[in-house]
A = this chain, B = another copy of it.
Amino acid sequence: MKARVTVTLKSGVLDPQGKAIEGALGSLGFAGVSGVRQGKVFDFDIAETDPATAANLLQDMCEKLLANTVIEDYRIEMV
């Protein structure tokens, strides 16, 4: 089973990387682009075949390693 986890900063948390990209896009001449925020995406091959069990495993992985749940949100998708 393939799965994808998307980790993004919670709204309200300052995103310096996003700001830097926004500035770079502006200097490259891209107008009308704002609110740039960067996150991470993780793809996995999960041996578990039961979707519910796999989702629990992935949630546990997010809570323990992939996301800093104080400032980040995560979303789990079975692909």
Contacts and interface: CB of A to CB of B under 8 A. Distances in A.
A39 B43 CA distance: 8
B47 A42 contact: no
Nearest to A7: B41
A53 to B, nearest CB: 10
A15 to B, nearest CB: 9
Number of copies: 2
Interface residues of A, number: 32
Interface in A13-59: 18, 21, 24-25, 28, 30-48, 57
22 contacts: A8-B41, A8-B43, A21-B66, A24-B65, A28-B65, A30-B57, A30-B60, A32-B48, A33-B44, A33-B46, A33-B57, A33-B61, A34-B47, A36-B42, A36-B43, A36-B44, A37-B43, A38-B40, A38-B41, A39-B41, A39-B43, A41-B41
